[in-house]
Amino acid sequence: MTILPTCTSQSRCFDGTIGFYRHFSDVCRTEMRFSVYLPPQATGATLPIVYWLSGLTCTEENFMIKAGAQQFAAQYGLILVAPDTSPRNLGLPGETETWDFGAGAGFYVDATTDPWNAHYRMYTYVTEELPALMAAFFPGDRQRQGIMGHSMGGHGALICALRNPDRYRSVSAFAPIAAPMGCAWGQKAFRGYLGTDSTAWQAYDASQIVIHSAWNQPILIDQGTADPFLPQGQLLPEVFEQACAQAGKELILRRQEGYDHSYSFIATFIADHLRHHAMALR
């Protein structure tokens, strides 16, 4: 039985409310946290939902505090939902040893290796459990869902949408890890969560999935040209761009001159992204 989430704090914002919640997750078998912005139109109406997936080291708080998204969500009548980036405080060996694996770095996969497979099931949490929770306790419309994210969360948004074109109507990303099988971050995470057989990794690599996906909506990506992770080969937008061209998918890849990987970059272009989702979900 799904249990009502506990609201830990709530604030008024642009005539709507930002709430922070915790609940016991059946999928992750531990307490999980998420945040929700309900725009003023949520009173008496069932509204479209846009999920935000955050990047490495982030929590359910970063986006709601830093992105400046609420004023545009209020304008367009969109519910915003931001889950935490992993289970936490489990006491697993190696859980907090590095910033790019374990706590704060769930990579939106369903882990298959021990001990991670008991709790690190972020893909199913994001695509199934959290939407069910939103439908049960919030005025959200599961028939009108979009998803977006940043960095590791951009990777998560792309794979969730591309693998589930029947569940999401829109997708966008800021500086996503667009080809994780080809970068150090992705290889470390996939090896740790999914094992050494790289064929299992393909199910979580957007540049692999898009070639065979039934997704047929425009994909919006913003990438800053001054992003320090771009020359390091961690993001690889050009690989995803080539895969989309091969598959005949509509990709709007905007290279934003002088912008980096920070929330200053996200805040600058968040209005464009929410407009992108609003047009698809209205």
The CA distance from 72 to 278, in Å, is 10
Annotated active-site residue 110? The verdict is: no
The CA distance from 162 to 109, in Å, is 14
Annotated active-site residue 262? The verdict is: no
Of 172, 207, 227, 276, the active-site residue reads: 227
> Which residues, 6 or more positions from 248, have their beta carbon under 8 angstroms from its beta carbon?
none
Of 35, 54, 86, 151, the active-site residue reads: 151
Annotated active-site residue 151? The verdict is: yes
Asked whether the beta carbons of 119 and 28 are under 8 A apart, the reply is yes
Hey, what are 118's tokens? 């008991």
The 3-class SS string of 171-192 reads: EEEECCCCCHHHCHHHHHHHHH
The CA distance from 105 to 71, in Å, is 29
Of 119, 261, 276, 277, the active-site residue reads: 261
Catalytically annotated residues: 151, 227, 261
